[in-house]
Amino acid sequence: MLHTYILYVCIGLSAIVSVLVWIDYYRRIDVFEPDKIRHLLVAVLIGCGTPFISILVYRVFDYLSFEMNGEPLNDLLYSVFGIGLNEELSKIVGVIIAFRILKKQINESIDYLIYAGMVALGFALVENFTYIERFGIDILTERSFYSVLEHIINTSIIIYGYFRLRVYGKGKQFTNTIIALATAISSHGLFDYFIFNPNFKYISPVLVIIVYLIGINFWISMLNNAINYSSHFNYSKIQYTNKLFYRLLIWYFFTMLIGLVYKAYFTNMFFAIANSLHHIFSNALLFTIVILRASRFKIYKNYYQPITIQLPFYITKNNDEDFRLFTLIPIKIRGENSHEYFLTAKIDKEIEVKPVNPRKSFLQHTVSATVADKLFLDNDTTIYMIKLTDKNSNNTFFLKPKTTGKIFIDEVYPINELLVDDTPDVLPKKLSELRFLEFVFVKADNEVAKVNY
């Protein structure tokens, strides 16, 4: 009796934790006008009813003998239309209900994605109870960071497409909606197809990860655009640090801890620890990439990122890598880290620029400057245009935040590369168009970035 009680407590806690992590995440990024938890929970509860819609449809499919049978084409069609179309439309029914009930709470662009995500979380919560009960707590971490996010991503794609014209003035209503529906349904279907189809036995993990990572980048880009286009946008409320990354990391290890306690109770501590370490090391790189990407945005008012098929990382040649794969390949996670964002809140404000090495310096001494603008070169590299008030020059100067090696002076003042554009008639599009002058560090009012993200 005690074993059964502990089993179901662990299953319930596991399923709930797999949802709480993303409720907490949405609360952290909704910085301008945070929604109340009770309103978010209403949307989650509405979402909890949506799996039963899809179950009814599955019963119809069973009656029609439309099911997976091992034939590649049949299984692809079933994955896309039997699973993807069915479950996505079921969640959209919940989203429509949530939007009507909570219409007074939806008053900025990110709210559409947040409440759609909450409904998807409700769907995933019910689904997680079923899967964890059937397959055990071993799948908790994968459900929390794979399947739950897949539900959120695909529902968000549909809602983003539907509201793309209204919020961002992009595209046409019908075209946006159809493309979004097709993308979400295909993404959902392919994710399941590559998992369940035996013909992809050896390469299915790679294919699943590719679909998943492209979806992650879609999702964060959509959230990023919603933040930048918020009707309540305010630089002073965006407090950009690495805190969000560490919160997600803590949630990840908490899911691992639940599994560890469960396995230690029902097996033994040695097996539990060995199994948990295996999960950590086998998923470490992927989870690091996902958590880093989920914690990074390009914050700039009314800056719109095209939603394109991209992985959430790329090989960089701009000396701004996050890590080196196999110690050789410089990998950069898309979006800005806290050092790259720092000067954003200083746009149109005065700063002091000081040479790191005054003896060999173009500036020679401390100069005043105004942060004039923010640019993204090579699509991702953040630089800031500055106007040097103490220098008479026809050239245009830029600051590029230093992100590798030593990045602070006195652990407070961020180091930047001082760059110059020798042909300032046209704004640069590539970092290679600018010439490096020297390393400088920046002083400004309230130098230390505030803590929120």
pLDDT tens-digit profile of 401-417?
998 888 898 888 899 99
The pLDDT value given to residue 128: 76
pTM (2 decimals)? 0.90
Cβ pair 263, 272 in contact under 8 A: yes
DSSP secondary structure string, 152-192? Answer: HHHHHHHHHHHHHHHHH--S-HHHHHHHHHHHHHHHHHHHH
pLDDT tops 70 at residue 208: yes
pLDDT at 112 over 90: yes
Q: Which helix (H) or strand (E) holds 400?
A: strand 396-401
The per-residue pLDDT for range 125-160, each reduced to its tens digit, is 888 777 666 656 565 556 666 778 899 999 999 999
Least confident of 115-119, 264-268, 284-288, 401-405: 264-268
Mean pLDDT rounded to a whole number for the chain? 86
d(Cα 35, Cα 376) in Å, to the nearest integer? 31
pLDDT exceeds 60 at position 190? yes
Confidence of residue 453 (pLDDT cuts 50, 70, 90): very low
**Measured CA distances, 146 to 151, 210, 297, 365, 369 (Å):** 9, 12, 21, 52, 46
**Greater model confidence, 402 or 269:** 402
What's the confidence (pLDDT) of residue 446? 54
Q: What is the pLDDT of residue 391?
A: 64
pLDDT at 256: 78
Higher-scoring residue by pLDDT: 7, 210: 210
Q: What is the pLDDT of residue 297?
A: 92
Q: In angstroms, what CA-CA distances link 449 with 241, 341, 400, 413?
A: 7, 9, 17, 10
- Mean pLDDT, residues 338-346 taken together: 87
Residue 125 confidence (pLDDT): 85
Q: State mean pLDDT over 9-32.
A: 82
Quickly state the pLDDT bin for 213 (edges 50, 70, 90): very high
The mean per-residue pLDDT over the stretch 32-37 comes to 90
204-228 and 269-294 helices, crossing angle to 10° = 50
Exposure on the CB side of residue 140, measured as CA atoms within 13 A: 31
Give residue 69's pLDDT. 84
Residue whose C-alpha is closest to residue 258's, from 136, 130, 137, 424: 137
Rounded distance between C-alpha atoms, residue 346 and residue 363, angstroms:
21
**Higher confidence at residue 394 or residue 222?**
222
Using CA atoms, how far apart are residues 192 and 215, in angstroms rounded to an integer? 14
pLDDT at 320 over 60: yes
Specify the pLDDT at position 145: 65
Could you tell me the pLDDT band of residue 41, with boundaries at 50, 70 and 90?
A: very high
What is the pLDDT at residue 452?
Answer: 45
Q: Quick check: 58 pLDDT over 70? A: yes
